[in-house]
Amino acid sequence: MSLTGSDRDFHTGTFSPNAALAIRCITAIVHRYWGRNFYQLIRLQNGEKVTLEDTARRNRVIDDTSVFESPAIGRLVSHWENLCKGRMAPRRAEVDPLDLFEFLPGIAMIKVFDAGVSFEFSLIGTGLAKLYGLVTRQIVSQVDCPPENREALLDALTLCVASKKPVLGTWRKARTLKLVEMDLEVVFVPISEDGDQVSRILGYHVVLN
């Protein structure tokens, strides 16, 4: 909706009811779909360490100070590091499901589209169906699950693509589809076909309680 002279009094800075409603709608859309991810990318470009958190969920890039609550998370990260062989990330063909047998119920393989504009589940473990449903080949932003799960997942995936590094998350009071609360530790490691851009992300979830 464009603003005409009748919509705004430039001297008083006030808007007509219709214009004010349009502005509120646009602001809500920008905040929902761009806000946190946009500022996250800006902070990365400025060389800052990114930490996303709300009252219960937190995602951050793994570094030398990172501590894993779950030993299984540490084992998965070590396996990923061995596959990297000094590169930014391994290729998809190098990630053998047989080597991930221990982790399979909590594993998700997620495709990255348009440098992180959208994401799609390509594989999901049986244990994660309680959180996200049976979502193979479904766009992550459209998954019908508790909204805090979806938002925390999108934050972690976007951070992984932007940093091109593994991301560790602590999600307190995450809810299943049946609204049962649980504490989760999650990790997301990048996969790259060209050694430069993240093409897929391997995610792993562990229940802490």
**CA–CA distance, 41 with 205 (Å, rounded to integer):** 25
pLDDT at 31: 40
pLDDT at 7: 35
Mean pLDDT per segment of 10 residues, for the chain of length 209 residues? 36 46 47 42 40 68 94 97 96 93 94 93 91 86 91 95 96 92 96 96 94
pLDDT at 27: 43
**CA–CA distance, 43 with 36 (Å, rounded to integer):** 11
**Residue 57 has which token pair?**
């969920």
pLDDT at 19: 52
pLDDT at 110: 96
* Three-state secondary structure of 95-122: CCHHHHHHHHHHEEEEEEEHHHCEEEEE
pLDDT at 70: 96
pLDDT at 10: 28
pLDDT at 115: 87
pLDDT at 44: 43
DSSP string over 44-64: HHTTPPPEEE-SSEEEEE--T
pLDDT at 15: 42
Domains and CATH numbers, the chain: 1-48 (no CATH), 50-207 (3.30.450.20)
